[in-house]
Amino acid sequence: MFLRSLFLSSCLLASASAQVATPLFNGKDLSGWTTSDGKPVTAGWVVEPGGILHRAAKGGDLFTASEYGNFELSWEWKISPGGNSGLKYRVQAYPEKGFLGCEYQILDDLNHPDGKIGPHRQTAALYDILPPSPSKPLLPVGQWNLSKVVVKDQTFEHWLNGQKVLAVDLTSDVFKTARAQSKFKAAVGFAENPKGRIMIQDHQDEAWFRHITLKPL
Give the tens place of pLDDT for each residue, 28-66: 999 999 999 999 999 999 999 999 999 999 999 999 999
Alpha-carbon distance of 22 to 212, in angstroms, equals 9
Task: Please tell me whether residue 159 adopts helix, strand or coil conformation.
Answer: strand
Half-sphere exposure of 180 (CA within 13 A, CB side): 6
CATH superfamily of the 66-216 domain? Exo-inulinase; domain 1 (2.60.120.560)
Dihedral pair phi/psi, residue 82, rounded to 5°: 75, 10
Q: What's the whole-number average pLDDT of the chain?
A: 93
Instruction: Kindly calculate the radius of gyration of the chain based on its CA atoms and give it in whole angstroms.
Output: 18
Beta bridge partners of 47: 53
Instruction: Give the model's pLDDT for residue 96.
Output: 80
Domain-by-domain residue ranges, the chain? 66-216
Confidence of residue 2 (pLDDT cuts 50, 70, 90): very low
Confidence of residue 4 (pLDDT cuts 50, 70, 90): very low
Share of the chain above pLDDT 70, in %: 92
pTM of the model: 0.91
- Ranking 9-13, 28-32, 207-211, 212-216 by mean pLDDT, the lowest is 9-13
Task: Please tell me whether residue 124 adopts helix, strand or coil conformation.
Answer: coil
Q: What is the pLDDT of residues 21-35, one digit of tens each?
A: 999 999 999 999 999
Contact 121, 115 (CB under 8 A): yes
Alpha-carbon distance of 58 to 148, in angstroms, equals 26
Strand (E) or helix (H) holding 5: helix 2-18
In the chain, helix, strand, coil percent, each to 5?
A: 15, 40, 45
Beta bridge partners of 3: none
Q: What is the pLDDT of residues 173-204, one digit of tens each?
A: 999 999 999 999 999 999 999 999 999 999 99
